[in-house]
Structures are given as C-alpha cells and as structure tokens.
Amino acid sequence: MIPYYREVGDEVEVFDLCYKNRLPLMIKGPTGCGKSQFVAAMAARHGRPIIKVACNEDTTASDLLGRFFIKNMETAWQDGPVVRAVREGAILYLDEVAEAREDVIVVLHSITDHRRELYIDRINESLSAPESFMCVTSFNPGYQSGFKEMKPSTRQRFVTLALGYPPPEIEIEILIKMTGVAPAVAKAMVALADGIRKQPQLGLRETISTRLLIYSAGLINGGMHPRKALLHGAIESLTDDAKIIQALKDTAALHF
C-alpha cells in the first residue's frame, strides 16, 4: 500500500530524476512537515523498501555499517542499516543526518561518490550499490547552529530539495484525509496554524507542525473539545512559557 502523500511542488519530479540519475538527495525542512512521509511514499512509488535511521549526536559509522558480535563463542557480523540498504538496493533514509558524528561522513562520501562503492574494512568486503539503491538524507535548517552545520564538502554532494508546511488548502485536505476530522474543524485548525506560523514574535523554537494538527484532530475525534485538544495536542508541545501558552490559547479560542 502506497502511503498517502499529497504533492505540494515539484518534489516528486526531483526525486524521480535523482532516482533515475542515481544522484543522492538531501531534503531540508522544518519538523513534522512530512519529510518522512514523502520519502516513504517515494520508496513505495519506486517499489523499493525503505531503511530509515534517526541520526543523533551519538550516531557513528559503526552504527551505520555494522558490528561484530560475540555469540556463543563465535563471532558473527551484523550488517548495519547502510549495508543492508546497499545489499537490498533499498532507499536509505538518514533522518537528521546533521546530528550524526563526524565519522558518518566517511560513509556518506562512499555512497555518494560517482562510484557508489562501499568498502567495509571489518569484513574486508566491497559492495557496489545496485541501481535501485538511493541515498536520501534530511535535516532541519532551523537547528543549524555553527557547531552542527554540515560541512559544504558534504552538502555539495547532494541534490537538495526544500520542503515546508503545505499551503492552507492542501493542509486542510491532508487533515481530512488522514484523520477524518470534519472539514469545518480542519479549516479552523489550519487557519489557526497559519496565524501562529505568521507570528515570529512568539519566539517559538519551531512553529506548529502538520503532525501536531493531526494529533489534535485525533483527540477531537476521540470526543475532546477542540480547545482542549489543541492545548494538549499542540500548544503545550510548542512551549513551556506561560504567557505564550496563554496567547496561543486565546488565539485558539478565536477559532473555536
């Protein structure tokens, strides 16, 4: 079953061309805007399995490539996700790759080279990525501090696709499709989200995502009053600042 994905711009064309030309792709965009959903849909579209790694500041090359384990007095090699993806010709999806440790770059360089070869020194094995293998990474420019910024020598190895929150009419469509919430409620929720997103003076680290709207819609469907659903499903997840929470509740009250 192909996961639901509602195209907003030319993202499908970009993905298809990268897949065809075997170019690595980097997707950038804010949290909860649908990056993972998009990659899942594209993987299904091309009939390939997807192998996803949520990178973090402890992710190392070994986490990606694999490790030896000692089992019952014998050593066994366990492929890591990157090696599995190369072997299976899967879509490898490294989520928030900018968070990973630097030695992950070695791996990225190997599989984004025009040779697309991976040498795993521990098992002395060289793998050539099959045609169906594709490397997709994502990161969130909103977090880019000087410290964690990806080096240009890494970024310039990828075709880059910028995603954002969908425009209102599409976000309404998504909410209805994914949660079955009433159209009027979806419309009011998106109007509220749109208003919040246009208020940078709120000082939110990240603004309200499509995912939080989906959560809130889930609570509403369960019988909770929309104001309370938005408070627990979205507002309290956005900030801990009492004044901003009150401002967001007041804004929500205008729509419901």
| C-alpha–C-alpha distance, residues 254 and 234, integer Å | 16
CB of 223 to a copy of itself, least distance (A): 7
Residue of the chain from 126, 223, 243, 250 that contacts a copy of itself (CB under 8 A): 223
126 lines the binding site for a copy of itself (CB under 8 A)? no
Rounded Cα–Cα distance for residues 183 and 169 (Å): 11
Return the number of the residue (228 or 255) whose C-beta is nearest a copy of itself. Answer: 228
Q: What is the DSSP string of the chain?
A: -PPP----SSHHHHHHHHHHHT--EEEE--TTSSHHHHHHHHHHHTT--EEEEE--TT--HHHHHEEEEEETTEEEEEE-HHHHHHHHT-EEEEETGGGS-TTHHHHHHHHHSTT-EEEEGGGTEEEEPPTT-EEEEEE-GGG--TTTPPPHHHHTTSEEEE--PPPHHHHHHHHHHHH---HHHHHHHHHHHHHHHT-GGG--SS---HHHHHHHHHHHHTT--HHHHHIIIIIHHH---HHHHHHHHHHHHHH-
Out of 6, 45, 87, 155, the residue judged to bind a copy of itself by CB under 8 A: 155
Asked if 157 touches a copy of itself (CB under 8 A), the answer is yes
Output the six-digit token pair for 78: 């366990």
User: Residue 199 in contact with residue 214, Cβ under 8 Å?
Assistant: no
Q: Which of residues 19-48 bind a copy of itself (CB under 8 A)?
A: 20-21, 23, 26, 28, 31-32
Q: Is 246 in the site for a copy of itself (CB under 8 A)?
A: no
Among 8, 50, 80, 174, binds a copy of itself (CB under 8 A): 80
Work out which of 159, 170, 182, 191 binds a copy of itself, going by CB under 8 A.
Answer: 159
Query: Which of these segments, 70-78, 168-176, 194-202, 247-255, binds a copy of itself (CB under 8 A)?
Result: 70-78
Round to whole Å and give the CA distance between 63 and 103: 11
Q: Name which position in 90, 129, 140, 165 contacts a copy of itself (CB under 8 A).
A: 140
Which residues between 183 and 212 bind a copy of itself (CB under 8 A)? 205-206, 209, 211-212
Residue 71 touching a copy of itself (CB under 8 A):
yes
171 lies in the binding site for a copy of itself (CB under 8 A): no
Residue 147: CB minimum distance to a copy of itself, A: 12
**Whole-number minimum distance, CB 109 to a copy of itself, in Å?**
4
Binding-site size, a copy of itself (CB under 8 A): 79
- For residue 105, the minimal CB distance to a copy of itself (Å) is 5
> Does residue 253 bind a copy of itself (CB under 8 A)?
no
Angstrom distance (rounded) from CA 30 to CA 206: 8
User: Counting contacts by CB under 8 A, is residue 215 touching a copy of itself?
Assistant: yes
Specify the stretch interacting with a copy of itself by CB under 8 A; choose among 86-94, 125-133, 141-149, 184-192. 141-149
